[in-house]
Amino acid sequence: MDNNSKELFKLIDDGNTIVHSDPRKAYEITKEALKLAEAFNNKSAMGYCFINFALIYRSLSNLANWVEYGHHALDIFMELNEEEGIVVALNLLSCAYFHVGLYEDS
């Protein structure tokens, strides 16, 4: 992993760490990380940014955006065949569907 990728994933992790304690700051950090991920064309990092956004919206009880970003992440990880990301995205989506009583979808 090159230095740009290390710094990028550290930024993503920084955002993830404060998702519940300060979702607005986590949003700003993740937004910055997504810009870098797009500039570096790092799809895996983009997927993890979308995971962060889904977590942020979950903590804000915004179901529509929670599901939207969960699906964005899942699409990327499926394209990359990145199992860990797929599992995380599916877990987030399952929690969202369960939260609104769509038990079969979860």
Nearest to 88, CA basis, from 53, 38, 41:
53
Confidence at residue 105, expressed as pLDDT on a 0 to 100 scale:
56
Confidence at residue 66, expressed as pLDDT on a 0 to 100 scale:
94
Confidence at residue 5, expressed as pLDDT on a 0 to 100 scale:
87
Confidence at residue 98, expressed as pLDDT on a 0 to 100 scale:
80
| Of the options 1.10.10.10, 1.10.10.410, 3.40.50.300, 1.25.40.10, the CATH number for the domain spanning 3-99 | 1.25.40.10
Nearest to 12, CA basis, from 39, 41, 44:
44
Give per-10-residue mean pLDDT for the chain (106 aa). 84 96 97 97 98 96 93 98 97 87 58
